[in-house]
Amino acid sequence: MVVKNITKLNLSIITPSGTLFKSSEVEVVVAHSTTGQIAILPNHAPILTKLEHDELKIKIDGKERFFTIFDGFLNLDPDNNITIMADNANRSEELNIAAIKKAKEDAQKALSEKERLSATEILRAETAMRRAIMELQVAEKRSRSSH
């Protein structure tokens, strides 16, 4: 049996609108699966897992980069290729904090009037609230790591 000594991961983040990110220089990927947080280093055992609505952290050249992931799957093959397929994903540097805060306020307002909403509208408002909170957390980490 030949043991591979690969020191980098190949990462692709794909959404319905196309490839959001691609790099062959990734040192580590930290994601939140439905079974808990996972950290993937080169030569990790193959894995296929569903991802939670949460942040994705990667490290390239010792620097952390953050993404938001919504409804996705992570697949790591035996050759250190990670493919993340997500319904929606964003780079932290593309997050618009003012727009996120507005979305959070709108969701809070809607949820304060739950009795007038249908079950579907409540679910949408709760999802928008969770998304806004997560995006603000990722944006905050980005600003801390860039100092």
In the structure, what pLDDT confidence band is assigned to residue 27 with cuts at 50, 70 and 90?
A: very high
74 φ/ψ sector (left φ>0, alpha ψ -120 to 50, else beta): beta
User: What pLDDT sits at residue 75?
Assistant: 98
Task: For residues 101-111, give the mean pLDDT.
Answer: 91
Nearest Cα neighbor of 37 from 8, 69, 12 is 69
Q: What DSSP element (H or E) covers 31?
A: strand 18-33
Least-confidence region, from 8-12, 111-115, 138-142: 138-142
DSSP track, 85-115: EEEEEEEGGG--HHHHHHHHHHHHHHHHTGG
User: What pLDDT sits at residue 143?
Assistant: 65
Nearest Cα neighbor of 30 from 20, 22, 41, 19 is 41
Is 3's pLDDT higher than 60? Answer: no
> What proportion of the chain, given as a percentage, has pLDDT over 90?
62
What is the token pair recorded at 115? 């009795």
Question: Which pTM value belongs to this model?
Answer: 0.81
Helices (H), the chain: 97-112, 119-145
- pLDDT tens-digit series, residues 62-80: 999 999 998 899 999 999 9
Cβ proximity of 89 and 52 under 8 Å? no
In the structure, what pLDDT confidence band is assigned to residue 144 with cuts at 50, 70 and 90?
A: low
